[in-house]
Amino acid sequence: MDSLSTTQSNSERLARAVVERPEAYRVLTGDRPTGPLHLGHYFGSLAERVRLQRLGVEIVVVIADYQVITDRDTAGNVRQNVHEILLDYLAAGLDPEACTIFTHSAVPALNQLMLPFLSLVSEAELHRNPTVKAESAASGRALSGLLLSYPVHQAADILFCQGNVVPVGKDNLPHIELTRLIARRFNERYGEVFRLPEALLSETPELPGLDGRKMSKSYGNGIALRLSAEETAALIRRTPTDSERRISYQPATRPGISALLDTAAVCLGLSPRLLAERLADSGAGKLKELTTEAVNEYFAPLRARRRELAKHPELLSEVLQRGNARANQFAEQTLERVRSAMGMVY
């Protein structure tokens, strides 16, 4: 078995174990606040977090504000972006009473874990990380010290609260591997402090952007959760398609048509191929209409909740303050154990 299929079968085993003993797991996951979340985030991770929360698993979510500056000069309008993401979380059903939502920058003890962790990895190991390589190439700029070392910081995100389940997409798998390596090396060198986290891969196949490329905030090809029904319709109308009347699911040769099929199908709970067969000769116009309706109908309740929540910015600040306070407690406890294991108690 190659390493991805090993990870996949481990992840399936983990998914079953979590259902059986939700109380034995703490989920740690997060997002970079570079813009509002889109359908890819929703089906790839947000819906999964809400499902785990309903099972009774403890959820800790980092809004990774320090990770924004890994591949750009400044954090931009980070405060606004943090609030948008928080609205997306709460509207999707994350319950601030049951989970901890926090930002990196408000938890000093988490950031301090980065120092001992950096001593546990070599420069060559950092350079080997395929996700860092891809991000560095995409950024079109010199590799910064932070971009090279942020996977170590991400290890601190996971280990500061002893998270043992990390729901991620494939591109974050190298970071989980590194986290396990750091935890193992720390335990070997200084004594058992950390448990080893495991990756939980999403079972929904990755939803492509409307142009058929990877859905990404920077390509502007995703449908943001926060859009209105009309904005969604306008965005879908602009999707490049072709003039062939027959609808078929061919991602490589008909990226626009296929992305629309993927989008509508995931909202309707069907397979994209089946949907293509049903649409037969009805043409791209009809497919766009159906996709718009499917998205707008599926997300109507979430969007209504989001609009309501947006009227109460003080509530958002309160949720973050509470989350940050709790995250600081976790982080200080862990840092104390780390310092004491390292003999740094004075």
**Which residues contact ligand TRP (rule: CB under 6 A)?**
28-32, 62, 64, 67, 154, 157-158, 166, 168, 172
CB of 73 to ligand TRP, least distance (A): 19
Nearer to ligand TRP, 132 or 335 (CB): 132
Nearer to ligand TRP, 282 or 328 (CB): 328
Nearer to ligand TRP, 110 or 266 (CB): 110
CB of 312 to ligand TRP, least distance (A): 26
CB of 45 to ligand TRP, least distance (A): 8
Q: What is the DSSP string of 262-330?
A: HHHHHHHTS-HHHHHHHHTTSHHHHHHHHHHHHHHHHHHHHHHHHHHHHT-HHHHHHHHHHHHHHHHHH
CB of 266 to ligand TRP, least distance (A): 19
| 300-338 core/surface letters (b: 16 or more CB in 10 A; e: else) | eebbeebeebbeeeeebeebbeebbebbbebbbebbebb
CB of 33 to ligand TRP, least distance (A): 10
Virtual torsion, Cα 222, 223, 224, 229, nearest 10 deg: 170
Nearer to ligand TRP, 29 or 241 (CB): 29
Name beta bridge partners: 31: 63
71 is written with which tokens?
A: 């591949």
| Separation CA 199–CA 300 (nearest Å) | 31
Nearer to ligand TRP, 176 or 264 (CB): 176
| Separation CA 25–CA 233 (nearest Å) | 40
